Structure 1
């Protein structure tokens, strides 16, 4: 019996599940790809026949010299120059890159000038200048600048050996090029990552080492290894210093026996081996830094090779997960138990006095004056571009104000008062104060290269001084409170948007802040994920922490807020209880806005 489809055409009879399970899947054949593979194989065989079958290549001479002592000594010197030049060059490049992205104009100018100069000078010219430095300076002295005080002095000619000249030349040349590679990697890290790290109170050095550079490495590594490979080949330039590295050694040999091609092939094959090893190292470093960037890491190259031979499976066997029994305080979904809420610190009063802020000619905050009582829940609403998010960011000093001040429990944020003047605090003091004011961003800003557990423990260990076991125990408890205890070892990319935002809330709560700022916490979520995040915030509203929430969820603001602030064009138009603002607004602009969104 045939079946008619809804478009009127015939369709195959319905089959049983057992019959369907026996069907064999045949992948589509790509004839063009097959022909291209055959053509490439033929070309490869022709090349091998031409190279291996031609006696003029002198493979007997090649075999005689390939592992000879002079060649191996030259190879060792090439490897040493490559290793030392790479380490020193990238160390110098890192310092130059950090100077270029710093806020000190003189450091930026000096770094730019160095990069401009040493990228302009050809390597061979730089090597010759360094080798002849004794002509310009007879001695090199260590002492106090601009005085006659000298601690030690050396003859430049004796100090600047060919090997030292080669190391300095390769270092200066690589340092200039690698600085731009590293700077590009740093600039590739999203600004939200910097802000999230700062909001958690992480020190600047820790931010660079643990948050920024690991993410920048994904952009740095491919180009950096191009530079290292170029350095390995560039060591052949030191032949101008009569330094017997690999290429210079081969030159000496073929000038004596006149076997040019076989000896050049000796150098070529060794360079191929060096670069092949560097490529394997590059692959594994890239794979390491790909953690968190992709949902599933690509398989190890060696495992793919052995899997093709049938020796191992393509993916390693997964261990059965041991599911720990749920804690007695666990509840379904995202409910936070009362005992957990009681353990959180009590909220602090936030006072905003005459705050103004401009970006160029655009004034985004205009003489804002508000007070958020301790333990209160305040929702800030208004049209896009009204200054809501900027106001939130000034509370924890992510944005500097142009005028006015903000205090939490009577302590100024970002400043200290000395008479009639306000002095901005040092960065470490700002960071320490900022830990009392947690912030949850609309785009989550989780650190993608760290697991969920590492995201939550990073700040408590670094800022609060908790031991790693204490921080992990606290993190797992917080994850259980937001219904994500089974996601501790996942990376942010492996989570849904709602899960990521709940992790961001747990990360912020790990510092036990007195004030919690939410910057449109549901705007980046699908509608069906909004509820799970709002449920967590509702529970937090009962905790006694002071909550300030920028939101477009008017119904949520009505349900959870003690007061609502309506802003437009950088001004507070109206503020009051939810019932009064949402049902009986006093200002006509508030009424017009609510008429469009309710």
Structure 2
């Protein structure tokens, strides 16, 4: 008589095969090699006296360094907020039926993507030289109702975040446009059939669904913006983290330890940003992510019976994933 085994659902299956897992020596060998290389790297960093770790710990929480961290974060946040707002406007203009709006958006993106951010920052630093006064009056005449010295408005800090924001907006606008175009056109048609106007459709239907695609590259751009703040010396703006550590290094004639101080702070801030990005992706990915369809760890009867199973499919396949579809998302 054939030997009978009991499967996950309590069914008697004759001659049930117990398969052994396939041995994968390649990944094990690769993991050992990578672990050895990582250990060698860490040992070299710890024991290398030229890195001067005592100086690193001494200046890691220096007052000027902490002030530079604060100014760097301030530049990053302001620049990204302005860039995100501008990028959404530019992306919508690119999709407009008005050729003038499309042309202006295309020219903005072409210009700011085509020139280096360092060069743009230099021009913003020279703004008060190029345009001594900012005035409001009748166009194409000398009649002015109001004017102010541009050096009062476009300070070094303002020039820094304006230059960074405008450059970043050009890149983010293409990311936003890709996200908007990824949403099925049937969503717009259905919303129009319900009597929703274009603004409401964009705000309540298109953007919430596009955020799933927009968030990951936007997170990368935010991290890139954090590091781009080290270029604001071109304005010149001299209160950011990179300049603060360079100033201390020049005074001590020890550039390497202070570079490590800057690296540690940049890595710490980047790690926090990555955690926030992961949480945003999780929030805007609701309804899209696949989830286990089986009832692992449960015994029959199931309620509902065999969730996610199709006709003729093995009922104890607990590791199968649902073919997830979008089930709705509120902004």
| TM-score relative to the length of structure 2 | 0.82
Shift of 1:27: 4.3
SS in 2 for 1:153: strand
* Contact 2:137-2:146 within 8 A present in 1 as well: yes
From 198, 204, 209, give the equivalent of 1:210: 204
Partner of 1:431: none
Aligned equivalent of 2:155 = 161
Q: Which residue of 2 aligns with 1:170?
A: 164
How many positions carry a matched residue from both structures?
A: 294
Gaps of 5+ in 2: 293-302, 304-324
Match of 1:276 among 271, 276, 281: 271
* Aligned-partner Cα distance in 2 for 1:15–1:233: 61
Residue in structure 2 matched with residue 109 of structure 1 by the alignment: 103
Q: Is 1:163–1:243's contact at 8 Å kept on the other side of the alignment? A: no
Question: In 1, distance between residues paired with 2:286 and 2:20?
Answer: 34
1:300-315 equivalence runs, <5 A? none
1:16–1:197: structure 2 CA closer, same or farther, 3 Å change rule? closer
The question of whether the paired residues in 2 share the 8 Å contact of 1:236 and 1:248 is answered with yes
Aligned to 2:77: 83
Q: Which one has a bigger Cα radius of gyration?
A: 1
**Cα shift at 1:448:** 2.7
Greater fraction helix? 2
Distance, in Å, in 2 between the alignment partners of 1:223 and 1:194 is 24
Which stretch shows the higher mean deviation, 55-64 or 152-161? 152-161
Aligned to 2:252: 257
Judged with a 3 Å threshold, the aligned counterparts in structure 2 of structure 1 residues 222 and 19 are, in CA distance, closer, same or farther, namely closer
Q: Does 1:67 align with 2:53?
A: no
State whether residues 239 and 247 of structure 1, in contact with CA within 8 Å, keep that contact through their aligned partners in structure 2.
no
Distance 1:44 1:245 in 2: 32
* Contact 1:134–1:157 (8 Å) recurs in 2: yes
1:177-205 deviation per Cα after TM superposition (whole angstroms, max 9, x unaligned): 11111111111111111111112222211
Alpha-carbon distance between aligned partners in 1 of 2:285 and 2:183, rounded to the nearest angstrom: 14
Please give the per-residue CA displacement for 1:316-352, whole angstroms capped at 9, x wherever unaligned: xxxxx9xxxxxxxxxxxxxxxxxxxxxxxxxxxxxxx
Shift of 1:219: 1.6
Of the three residues 118, 123, 135, the one matched with 1:141 is 135
Structure 1 residue 96 corresponds to structure 2 residue 90: yes
Unaligned runs of 5+ in 1: 4-12, 298-320, 322-446, 459-598
| Partner Cα distance (1:101, 1:149) in 2 | 37
CA RMSD of aligned residues (A): 2.5
Q: Contact 2:4/2:12 (CA < 8 Å) preserved in 1?
A: no
Q: 1:25 to 1:69 in 2, by over 3 A?
A: farther
Distance in structure 1 (CA, Å) of the matches to 2:278 and 2:18: 36
Cα 1:15–1:450, aligned 2, differ >3 Å: closer, same or farther?
A: closer
Residue in structure 2 matching 1:125, options 96, 115, 119? 119
**1:439-467 residue CA offsets vs partner (Å, 9 max, x unmatched):** xxxxxxxx93516xx7xxx9xxxxxxxxx
In structure 2, C-alpha distance between the alignment counterparts of 1:20 and 1:260, rounded to whole Å = 73
Residue 192 (structure 2) aligned to one of 198, 222, 226:
198
User: 1:463 is matched with which residue?
Assistant: none
Candidates 11, 14, 38, aligned match of 2:4: 14
Separation in structure 2 between the aligned mates of residue 271 and residue 144 of structure 1, nearest angstrom:
48
Q: Could you tell me which residue of structure 1 aligns to residue 320 of structure 2? A: none
Structure 2 residue 238 is the aligned partner of structure 1 residue 248: no
Per the alignment, do residues 75 and 205 of structure 1 end up closer, same or farther by CA in structure 2, a change over 3 Å counting? Answer: same
The answer (yes or no) to whether the contact 1:74–1:245 under 8 Å persists in 2 is yes
Shift in Å at residue 153 of structure 1?
A: 1.2
In the alignment, which residue of structure 2 is the partner of 1:294?
289
8 Å Cα contact 2:160-2:237 kept in structure 1: no
Deviation at 1:269, TM superposition (A): 0.9
Higher strand share: 1
Q: For the residues of structure 1 that align with 2:327 and 2:11, how far apart are their CA atoms?
A: 46
2:31 aligned to which of 37, 41, 63 = 37
Asked if residue 221 in structure 1 is aligned to residue 99 in structure 2, the reply is no
Find out whether 1:55 has 2:45 as its counterpart.
Answer: no
Deviation at 1:171, TM superposition (A): 1.0
TM-score, reference length from structure 1: 0.47
**Matched residue SS, 1:142:** strand
1:266 matched residue in structure 2: 261
